[in-house]
Structure 1
Amino acid sequence: MAELRGVFWDVDGTLADTEMDGHRPAFNQAFEDLGLPLHWTPEHYADLLSVPGGMARVRFSARQQGVSLDDDLLLTLRGRKRERYLERCRSGHVRWRPGVLRLLRELDCAGVQQWIVTSSGRGSVSALLSGGGDGSWPFQGIVTADDVPEGKPSPAGYLHALQASGLSAEEGLALEDSAAGLRAARASGLACLLTPSPWDRDLPPLHGLAVAVLEHLGERERPAHQCWGPPCPQGLVTLEYLKFLLDPPA
């Protein structure tokens, strides 16, 4: 009988709506600051999201447009983008997804381990966490692109977090929003609950790989619509529902 002892959170698109309202405009501001001939529209950025990791997207986009970026310039760009992203987080442009703060508190009160596993860098995660809440977060650890050799869809981040947490994959559940994240979680052996990002075009055919798919985690005044999986009472993802997903009755 499986017992839920750990929840592993993705960041971008899962914890918060960071991509279109946070990372994209922060990169565009950094490009402008440094005089680079790059600008990402929402449509172009949606295409770039198939490339895991912000700086990997920069390299890919620059190659597409014939823009040369050396290592020193990339390092400067990374620092400037982090500054701009932090500004956006602190000014309220980046919003937590519905139900996230509620579920974080519930899991914390129940003593369930919570870990962040993301293909973003540690600076971006720190910017998000410092820009909201009271500064106290219930995460036992954070695994970022700086900690593993490969980002999602590689399972490296999740395997690293499982080892650090002392938990087996059967004792944990991942929360993701993307095809790359879903593949990474499943490759590590973790069951995965999806709250999809609307711009991930590769995700709908993969819904069956998840234990459930809901538009978000739900609030009492804003229940979540469900796309797949066992019915979620009142459209609210709770600790009891996560336990049920991990160990449904025979």
Structure 2
Amino acid sequence: MAVMPVLKTVFWDVDGTLADTEMDGHRPAFNRAFVEQGLNWTWDPETYKRLLNIPGGSLRMKTFAQQQGDVLSDAQIAQLRTSKQRHYLDAVRAGAVSLRPGVDRLLGELQERGIAQWIVTSSGALSVSALLDTLFPGDVHPFAGVISADDVSSHKPCPDPYLKALECSNTDPDAALAFEDSTPGLLSAKAAGLRCLLMPSPWDQELYRYQARAEAVLDHLGNTQLPCRVSSGPPCVDGLVTLEYLQMLLVLPD
């Protein structure tokens, strides 16, 4: 008789999944870095929405420079990245970023039930550290570890970040679930053999092509004041994503 898989580990993406970071955190930080470095660039919401299809800030800047006909050296890109990170950290510490609906509730439930939780993100380690320090004062967050852009050479949509997370957490793919919001994140998780709960980013214009590959698609994780809405996947009792719901996703037929 086949043994039913049991959830052991949950992998959280950060930007747009764990917290709302993009438009009020990262985008203004990029724009301040451009001014600081003497570039006549401005990423308005529409431009940034388009660029979010490119994973990672450095690659976004390189791509945008090519589109503008500007030639930037690797050293200039690195300097921009450092400047942007500083401005993003300032914004986070000033309270510009908040957890998405239902995240705090589910983090606590999974922690109480003994489910390991890891962060798997295309953001740099400094950005993640600042966000955790701000959202979880006193270093009382529930995460066992972080796989950031600094830990792998190939980023989402490549499977490397999730493969690294599976290795570091000593978890079999059948016992893990990824939370994602974007096309690169979803493709990365699926390429690593993971099942995925997807909360689509409103900025990802390509995601509709791929979201059927997720085991469930919801607007958010839900809380008592704001129940979640399920676009595809099993119905969610009381509009709240719980450990029982996640376990259900793990045993859905392929």
TM norm structure 1:
0.96
Residue 71 in structure 1 maps to residue 59 in structure 2: no
Letter in 2 for 1:130: D
Percent of paired sites with the same residue = 54
Residue 246 of structure 2 aligns with which residue? 242
Equivalent residue in structure 2 for 1:118, among 112, 116, 121: 121
1:26-175 to structure 2, matched below 5 A, reads 26-134=29-137, 135-175=139-179
**Structure 2 equivalent of residue 206 of structure 1:** 210
Instruction: For 1:88, give the aligned amino acid.
Output: A
Could you list the per-position Cα deviations for residues 31-60 of structure 1 after superposition, in whole angstroms to 9, with x for gaps in the alignment?
Answer: 111211211011011111111101110111
Q: How many residue pairs end up in the alignment?
A: 249
Q: Secondary structure at the match of 1:230?
A: coil
Provide the C-alpha distance between the structure 2 equivalents of 1:178 and 1:248, rounded to a whole number of angstroms. Answer: 22
Q: How does 1:164-243 map to 2 (within 5 A)?
A: 164-243=168-247
The alpha carbon displacement at 1:176 in A equals 0.2
Query: Does 2:11 align with 1:8?
Result: yes
Q: Which runs of 5+ in 2 are unaligned?
A: none
SS state at 1:39 partner: coil
Q: Alpha-carbon deviation of 1:131? A: 2.1
State the one-letter code of the partner of 1:94. Answer: V
User: CA-to-partner distance for each residue in 1:63-101, whole Å, 9 max, x for gaps?
Assistant: 111222223222222221111101111111112110111
> 169-178 or 36-45, which moves further after superposition?
36-45
Q: State the shift of 1:170 in Å.
A: 0.1
Does structure 2 retain, via aligned residues, the 8 Å contact 1:85–1:127? no
**Consecutive aligned runs of 4 or more in structure 1 exceeding 4 Å deviation:** none
Provide the C-alpha distance between the structure 2 equivalents of 1:133 and 1:147, rounded to a whole number of angstroms: 23
Name the aligned partner's letter for residue 117 of structure 2: Q
Cα RMSD, aligned residues only = 1.2
Whole-Å separation in 2 of the counterparts to 1:207 and 1:227: 10
Give ranges in structure 1 of 5+ residues lacking alignment.
none
